[in-house]
Amino acid sequence: MTPEAIVELSAANLARAIRSKQLTAQDAMEAVIARAGEVHKKLNCFVRIDRYEALAAARLADAELARGAVRGPLHGVPMAHKDMYYREGAISSCGSKIKRDMPAPSTATALKKLDAAGAIQFGVLNMAEFAYGPTGHNYHLGHCRNPWNPDHITGGSSSGSGASVAARASFAALGSDTGGSIRLPATFCGVSGIKPTWSRVSRHGAMPLSFSMDTVGPLARTVEDCALILAAIAGADPLDASASQHPVPDYMAQLARPIRGLRIGTPKRYFYDNIDAEIEGLMQSSLEIYRKLGAEVIEVDLPDMEPWNTAAMLIIAAEAAAAHGNWMRTRPQDYSAQVRARLELGLAVPATSYLDGLRLRGVALQAFSREVFAKVDVLHAPTVGFQTPTIAETDISGGEAMTRVLNSITRLTRPGNFLGLPCLSLQAGFSRNGLPTAMQLIGRPFDEAALFAAGHAYQQATEWHLQAPK
């Protein structure tokens, strides 16, 4: 198999090819590292590529397979990850100037679980500074660029994750999602991404931003890949008391379950307020696919979500400011203007407003479940409601413009974080300017399996996920 053909494989198909010895882990690693080097020159999506260590690990994986030893379902699959997942002794800059010389004291649980499943990390990926930016701009490491058109944003904060996976420079990548930071890059770069239920995946060893909202999840070529990787990293963790004890189902076994009769909700308001007409048309086309697959599409009336959106912003702002309190006092000059301005806003959030926001979450989830999940199994909605902006259009610092741009970009993703619900973003077509767009499927707590089944069925019936940037 040629290197060009290898990098086009999904993570799941690559894992099957390695296990069946159609190709070696070393072949895959050499192909993706060569591709990553080419892509990085144009997209600035990598922070570091660990060529020699990764090739040695790939040769070891091949030797183990030759002896009949398979580490797990991702044996030999190369991956790079967002530069906020700590590996003991290595530097994780978190996209910042402040942490660029700080070796990690321990290894993130998500990385340990991927290691145990057989995946091989070969590099780390660019990201928004401290994961606090939804556009993908980074004023320390340089802005990451969209592989479909480098003048446009990737979305953030998992910018390098979205760009590298779309450009076939990594088979999959971990991202993080606090207000949309997996789903936004998945949308703008044209890949799949899952924000799991809050607490579904351990956050030990992952840079914190907002304790009440942070989630860990993958970006990948396909929904099947997302299911495979989430199955590897989900579950309880003694090093993270917030990680749920809820059993992890066999996502892969449930992937192909029929969706005939599945009740898919489409919202009357909020998600379609002031939406771009072309994107609305693509959403309706995706719903028509579901109708043809036998799903029942039902219109649902959502509760008033604007107060939830405001509460989510206050919670994230306050918790981020608290996490950065010491550096804000001792090293304020080492933040970019935009991130420093956002953290300063968080310092001004009253404790009563923060606590009111936290108390509202349970009430909001009950109201949402009553209006939505009592009537449908999955909610279908756009991930963003506007055309992908350029890097120049969203190159902002502080002030009113910053607040307006950042709030509009995350308006449709942030409610999923506030409610703690699983949200799957997947490709739904291309706009006239040749850039991808996406839908998100929102499910009941811990029912990622339903999202995977619905998303996989859609991808089996369409070819959007097979498209790659030239």
Half-sphere exposure of 195 (CA within 13 A, CB side): 35
Exactly one of 10, 92, 157, 199 is catalytic; which is it? 157
Catalytic: 431?
no
Catalytic: 157?
yes
Rounded to whole angstroms, the Cα distance separating 367 from 380 reads 18
Exactly one of 10, 82, 210, 212 is catalytic; which is it? 82
Q: Which long-range contacts (CB under 8 A, 24 or more apart) does 16-22 make?
A: 18/61, 18/65, 18/75, 18/76, 18/77, 19/65, 19/70, 19/75, 21/65
- The 3-class secondary structure across the chain, one letter per residue, is CCHHHHCCCCHHHHHHHHHCCCCCHHHHHHHHHHHHHHHHHHHCCEEEECHHHHHHHHHHHHHHHHCCCCCCCCCCCEEEEECCECCECCECCCCCCCCCCCEECCCCHHHHHHHHCCCEEEEEECCCHHHCCCCCCCCCCCCCCCCCCCCECCCCCCHHHHHHHHCCCCCEEEEEECCCCCHHHHHHHCCEEEECCCCCECCCCECCCCCCCCEEEEEECCHHHHHHHHHHHECCCCCCCCCCCCCCCCHHHHCCCCCCCCEEEEECCCCCCCCCHHHHHHHHHHHHHHHHCCCEEEEECCCCCHHHHHHHHHHHHHHHHHHCHHHHHHCHHHCCHHHHHHHHHHHCCCHHHHHHHHHHHHHHHHHHHHHHHCCCCEEEEECCCCCCCECCCCCCCCCHHHHHHHHHHCCCCHHHHHHCCCEEEEEEEECCCCCEEEEEEEECCCCHHHHHHHHHHHHHHCCHHHCCCC
Exactly one of 181, 192, 210, 286 is catalytic; which is it? 181
Catalytic: 210?
no
Angle (CA) 434 41 110, round 5°: 85
Q: How far is CA 3 from the centre of its chain?
A: 26
Q: Which residues are catalytic?
A: 82, 157, 181
